[in-house]
Amino acid sequence: DVYLGKDIDFAGASTINPVGFGNGFVGNFYGNNHTLSNIQIDVADKTYVGLFGYIKGGSVQNLTIDGLQFPKYAFSYKYLGGLAGHIENGTFSNIALDTIEGFNGENSSSGGFAGE
């Protein structure tokens, strides 16, 4: 399980890899009503793109994402979403997404919350 203990502002940080982009996130992410902001997602060589690349049975709750930025070439990836690129049997509650940039909807499967 992952517990977010405070707000985190990624302004000025380099890009981050999506959580669970390899085998899928199967745990529980407790945001504790905190905010992750100004996140730049690394999309290089990834099929599933979002804060979480692939959620496979995991849960995310009580989290705000404010300022999520995808590179301009992110549209060439198959599954793109604000929270997750791909979700399989996930559980979610009290999630807020605000200000997603570089998201153009030209993907074969894309959405503000999840790509697929």
Whole-angstrom Cα distance, residue 23 to residue 28? 15
pTM, rounded to two decimals:
0.85
Could you tell me the residue ranges of all domains in the chain?
A: 2-111
Pairing state of beta strands 48-49 and 79-81? Answer: parallel
Count the alpha carbons within 13 Å of 98 in the hemisphere toward its beta carbon.
Answer: 9
* Residues 4-21 pLDDT 10s: 999 999 998 888 888 887
Question: What tens digit of pLDDT does each residue of 64-103 get?
Answer: 999 988 776 655 667 888 899 889 999 999 999 998 776 6
Mean pLDDT of the chain, nearest integer: 85
- pLDDT digit string, tens, across residues 45-69: 778 888 998 999 999 999 999 998 8
